[in-house]
Chain A
Amino acid sequence: MSAAPASSQHPLLEVKNLRMHFPVTEGVMFRKVVATVKAVDDVSFSLRAGETLGLVGESGCGKTTTGRCILQLERPTAGEIIFEGEDLAKLDRKGLVAKRERMQVIFQDPYSSLNPRMKVGSIIGEPMKVHGILPDAKQRRERVAELLSVCGLNPKFMDRYPHEMSGGQRQRVGIARALALNPQFIVCDEAVSALDVSIQAQVINLLEDLRDKFNLSYLFIAHDLSVVRHLCHRVAVMYLGKLVEVAESDELFDHPKHPYTKALLEAVPIPDPTVEKGRVHRIMQGEVPSPMNPPSGCVFHPRCPIAVDSCKHEVPQARELRPGHWVACPRV
């Protein structure tokens, strides 16, 4: 989808026609490629400084892969990732290391994303060591203490190991580590999904406070639409490797256009029995097809309530319905 930036302001990040295809191989001695999984297929969007863009969709839709491609943790098959004016896909190792100072990631699982053998102080201090910021150990400790208190943790925690902390505290350590290099941009990959609701609210508020304090931009990858609506300025909806709709949050949640976005929003239960009784529960049938063998034409057509014959053959192009509201469906 070729969604242009919503504003004329120069974007911090621009993703253009991103493709990430993974080969599927067979055989041990003579490996041969038998198929490709089109995890991300022609995805374009942009992100302004200070903006939070939500990337939503169901498991396997390619949202995490998109995030990993932007960070160059995966080298994309095709497309451009222009961050602060430079195409990351074209940078060499050295150039990339310098850029990585400016972009960080917070992972989903606070258990597996922290090294269990390192103390919290070393976990948070390591990025500074790697990038040669604050080479002095004492200064570094001071900075770690500051980061811990910014993230709502007692600075004494720096001498603890991750296993001595709860899930919510660990996630705060993950956030402190992401902040260690004063980044401009953070990919939050399901950063609050593993947390209990009372703890989740604490971490959501922390992410909001940090965004305002340091003018951060987030790519907020999540499947929980209520959280995305709460936190994001704009939202992009993905299905089977493609973007189906992009709009400002209020616009997308109040006036969803794409049939997939509509189905997704209707499926989210609202914590209020009275509201729930008044809602129509149209349940979308079927499951997400395998990305190894995606449907022809519009990938959503087998589950789409408004599909017509032409949807089976024609790949829908994105259209701008209203300023900033892009939809890849010719029928809406």
Chain B
Amino acid sequence: MATLLEVENLRTQFETSAGTVRAVDGVSYNVEEGETVGIVGESGCGKSVGALSVLRLIPNPPGRVVGGSIRFRGEDLLAMSDEKLHAVRGGQIAMVFQEPMTSLNPVLTIGLQLCETMQFHLKLSHEQARLRAVELLGMVGISEPGRRLDQYPHHLSGGMRQRVMIALAMSCKPKLIIADEPTTALDVTIQAQILELMKDLTKRFGVALIVITHNLGVVARYADRVNVMYAGRIVESGTAADIYHRPMHPYTLGLLRSVPRMDRPRGEKLIPIDGQPPDLTREITGCAYRPRCSFATERCAREDPALEEIGPGHRSACFERNRLARVLKVAS
């Protein structure tokens, strides 16, 4: 499989009254054609900003991509002319946002929003676009698609709106869809419907998918590979099995231990991560996770651990990963 997206040493910062926030601070990862990559982490870890940076959607000011490169099928998106980027954005790379209420235009009909995109990217006539819009709405499981075209977003429920967003994302036959917390605002049964729909469509049409979420269960169910982010960096990446069964970073382990699981005996005590994530306006020396880490040593305060390959496709940014692995082995 060919590499579709290569993000290298991406750095995005925001200028605020409190100082410069290093929201994304040197992130590198690849997405292969047709695969699903999960990006997990807690609020403020830079997972959304990292994804928005890919499509140059960071509002400037206050935000700015200050370094790195993002190559999509070999072309650098950061260096591309605006005109060329417009053809990629919404065309070859589409986006599904968290809030279907705010990401659809409330004063335009569903049909108009779908057709506009296709007329621009696929150069379809209005009639052709409407025909394809009906087909797309049917494909994402919306009943009476013909009638829905003339409805407004407020006529639809949250789950239906998210289906429209997915139809919109699929409309121009993209190679990559970036879904930023696509189901966080939805109820659990609707969440399952939407995730299954996205999985079916991406597999059927060979579309690569980046799913950004804080829900470890969603990633376990759908992602082929996972990037775990903390304080603007990727601290661990690997296959879903690596991350969940052989975590090699204390933060990953901390996340896994702090969620209650339906398949474990009830009454097992949760092991939370002490403390708070760091303030990203301050310069961090050493490992950003050190103040909350039970494996931290003196070296972690001085040196910044790099993300290193520790197995096929498995990377970790931790000096103490071997000690962590031993502890886990003893525990199991």
Task: Say if the beta carbon of A229 comes within 8 Å of chain B.
Answer: yes
Partner pick for B261 among A166, A202, A226, CB 8 A cutoff: A226
Q: Is the beta-carbon distance between A201 and B266 smaller than 8 angstroms?
A: no
Question: B258: which A residues are within 8 A, CB to CB?
Answer: 197-198, 200-201
Q: Is the beta-carbon distance between B187 and A205 smaller than 8 angstroms?
A: no
Question: B71: which A residues are within 8 A, CB to CB?
Answer: none
Known: A270-B217, A273-B241, A276-B221. A198 touches B262 (CB 8 A): no
- Using an 8 Å CB-CB cutoff, how does the interface string of A50-73 with B read, 1 for contact, 0 for none? 000000001100000000000000
Task: Say if the beta carbon of A271 comes within 8 Å of chain B.
Answer: yes
CA distance A167 to B277 in the complex (A): 12
Q: Is the beta-carbon distance between B188 and A264 smaller than 8 angstroms?
A: yes
Q: Is the beta-carbon distance between A229 and B266 smaller than 8 angstroms?
A: yes
Question: A201: which B residues are within 8 A, CB to CB?
Answer: 257-259, 270-273
CB contact list, B253-298 vs A, under 8 A: 254-263, 266, 268-274, 276
Known: A270-B220, A281-B192. A287 touches B159 (CB 8 A): yes
Q: Is the beta-carbon distance between A281 and B241 smaller than 8 angstroms?
A: no
Main SS at interface, chain B: helix
Question: A265: which B residues are within 8 A, CB to CB?
Answer: 262
Q: Is the beta-carbon distance between A198 and B273 smaller than 8 angstroms?
A: yes
Measured CB to CB, the closest approach of chain B to A124, in angstroms, equals: 21
Number of B interface residues in the complex (CB < 8 A): 44
Closest to A288 in B: B187
Q: Is the beta-carbon distance between A230 and B263 smaller than 8 angstroms?
A: no
CB contact list, B160-203 vs A, under 8 A: 160, 187-193, 196
Known: A198-B272, A270-B261, A283-B196. A263 touches B240 (CB 8 A): no
Task: Say if the beta carbon of A253 comes within 8 Å of chain B.
Answer: yes
Question: B215: which A residues are within 8 A, CB to CB?
Answer: 269
Task: Say if the beta carbon of A204 comes within 8 Å of chain B.
Answer: yes
Task: Say if the beta carbon of A274 comes within 8 Å of chain B.
Answer: yes
Q: Is the beta-carbon distance between B260 and A226 smaller than 8 angstroms?
A: yes
Task: Say if the beta carbon of B214 comes within 8 Å of chain A.
Answer: yes
Partner pick for B270 among A59, A166, A230, CB 8 A cutoff: A230
Q: Is the beta-carbon distance between A271 and B244 smaller than 8 angstroms?
A: yes
Task: Say if the beta carbon of A168 comes within 8 Å of chain B.
Answer: yes
Task: Say if the beta carbon of B157 comes within 8 Å of chain A.
Answer: yes
> Can you add 17 more A-B contacts, CB < 8 Å, to A169-B276, A271-B220?
A168-B276, A197-B214, A202-B272, A204-B272, A226-B260, A226-B261, A253-B262, A267-B188, A267-B192, A269-B220, A271-B244, A272-B263, A273-B244, A274-B244, A275-B220, A283-B189, A284-B193
Residues of A within 8 A of B (CB): 58-59, 166-169, 196-202, 204-205, 223, 225-227, 229-230, 249-250, 253, 263-276, 281, 283-285, 287-288
* Sample of 29 A–B contacts (CB below 8 Å): A58-B188, A58-B190, A59-B187, A169-B276, A196-B42, A197-B216, A197-B258, A198-B42, A198-B255, A198-B273, A201-B259, A201-B270, A201-B272, A223-B187, A226-B259, A253-B262, A267-B192, A268-B262, A269-B217, A270-B221, A272-B244, A272-B261, A273-B245, A274-B241, A274-B244, A275-B220, A283-B189, A287-B160, A288-B187
